[in-house]
Amino acid sequence: MTQSLLKIKNVKKAYRKYNLFGKEVSKFSALNGLNLNVNKGQIYGFLGPNGAGKTTTIKCIIGILEADSGEIIIDGKNIKHNELYFKNKIGFLPEQVGLYGRLTAKETLQFYGGFFDLSTEEIEKRGKNLLARLGLEKDSNRKVAEYSLGMRKRLALCVALLNNPEILVLDEPTSGLDPRGVKALRVVLKDLNKKGLTIILSSHVLTEVQEICSHVGIINRGKLIREESIEDIRKEIEKKSIKLLLKVKKFSENDAKDLLKNNKIKNLNQKFNGKHEELIVELKEENIPWVTDYLVSKGIQIYSIEPQKNTLEEIFLKETGGHLLEN
């Protein structure tokens, strides 16, 4: 039986502006009764358009902001009035990594470890293990100013893991990384998750979320609009329609118009790859034989038929009404 580790219940948070006399002149509601649940052992992708409330939610979870109302419960206990206790249960990797360039990696861990009331010996022991796991052991005596962005991200992750958190919260962890750095970080996160760490990942890179996350929550205008395993969401979409990639010859614009006239086809995209016409057809699975029979009856040569998976991006756009994620 899965056990809930983080539960957000009907949380509301508004940003207010006041004039010189202390009178409220404007109010923006960032969270409007947000409900969310993360179970132990999940890698939870946290998605939403810009302004949806993702950053506000993260700040409320890690204790930078206090919710106006509602409850944030970690491991069965409300964080209100227990903020310091729960901060020790959470590791946080922000999008913009702020580290002191004049310190070495070892000195950085000693500095931040002090905030967790860890002894020098304990920080050294944990730090050595983390630096080795994240491939920084050989560079532990170098100044952080000499590190690449990828190395600084890994060191910041060491800092986030120094207190042995139960939950690791990541805000745009792959931002600024090259493909090699992204892959290395993905391997590290999957390895940490296999060892029992629960991870909450907020990202604009939907392909990365689809690659690494087991579950996803989509919010819009401060409310949760979808929360499910990625696989279950994809299966549901595919029940309604699937996509086929057909490579054909002798397919004209008139053929495309005739095909679209039939209500069995939801969408059709066409392009020439230099050798064949490529058709991406969206339809119900039961209508696949009809499409192939139709094309053959028109004298169109079919060279291959390949099913296409619905991507998380398509699911996201469907759920949020077409709002694109922006950096």
Give tens-digit pLDDT for 141-154: 999 999 988 889 88
When divided into structural domains, the chain yields a total of: 2
Give pLDDT tens digits for 275-323.
888 888 877 777 788 888 888 888 888 878 877 666 677 777 777 766 5
Residue 164 to residue 45: CA distance in whole angstroms: 21
Asked if the structure places residue 324 within a domain, the reply is no
Domain final position from 235, 263, 283 = 235
* pLDDT for position 108: 93
Asked if the structure places residue 323 within a domain, the reply is no
Write the CB contacts of 38 (distance below 8 Å, at least 6 apart in sequence): 4, 5, 6, 7, 44, 167, 198, 200, 215
Q: How confident is the model at residue 124 (pLDDT cuts 50, 70, 90)?
A: very high
Asked if the structure places residue 87 within a domain, the reply is yes
Asked if the structure places residue 216 within a domain, the reply is yes
Instruction: With a cut of 90, say whether residue 3 has pLDDT above it.
Output: no
* pLDDT for position 240: 63
Same domain? For 50 and 105 the reply is yes
Report the CATH number at residue 287: 3.30.70.1340
Residue 205: how many other CB atoms lie within 10 Å? 19
Same domain? For 248 and 229 the reply is no
Give pLDDT tens digits for 227-273.
989 888 767 766 666 777 778 888 888 888 888 887 778 778 888 88
Strands 277-283 and 242-249: antiparallel
Same domain? For 56 and 89 the reply is yes
Domain span at residue 162 reads 4-235
Asked if the structure places residue 132 within a domain, the reply is yes
Residue 163 to residue 122: CA distance in whole angstroms: 10
Q: How confident is the model at residue 6 (pLDDT cuts 50, 70, 90)?
A: very high
Helical axes 312-319 vs 230-240, angle rounded to 10° = 80
Report the CATH number at residue 57: 3.40.50.300
Asked if the structure places residue 327 within a domain, the reply is no
Same domain? For 145 and 286 the reply is no
Asked if the structure places residue 140 within a domain, the reply is yes
Same domain? For 273 and 141 the reply is no
Same domain? For 218 and 283 the reply is no
Same domain? For 24 and 146 the reply is yes
Q: How confident is the model at residue 43 (pLDDT cuts 50, 70, 90)?
A: very high
Q: What share of the chain has pLDDT > 70, as a percent?
A: 94
Residue 115 to residue 63: CA distance in whole angstroms: 15
Same domain? For 250 and 177 the reply is no
Same domain? For 162 and 230 the reply is yes
* pLDDT for position 326: 45
Same domain? For 66 and 211 the reply is yes
User: What is the average per-residue pLDDT within 199-221?
Assistant: 88
Per-residue burial over 294-306, b if 16 or more Cβ lie within 10 Å, else e, is: bbeeeebebeebe
In degrees and rounded to multiples of 5, residue 267 shows phi and psi of -160, 150
Same domain? For 92 and 112 the reply is yes
* pLDDT for position 322: 60
Asked if the structure places residue 318 within a domain, the reply is no
Domain final position from 235, 251, 277 = 235
Residue 11 to residue 304: CA distance in whole angstroms: 51
Same domain? For 86 and 163 the reply is yes
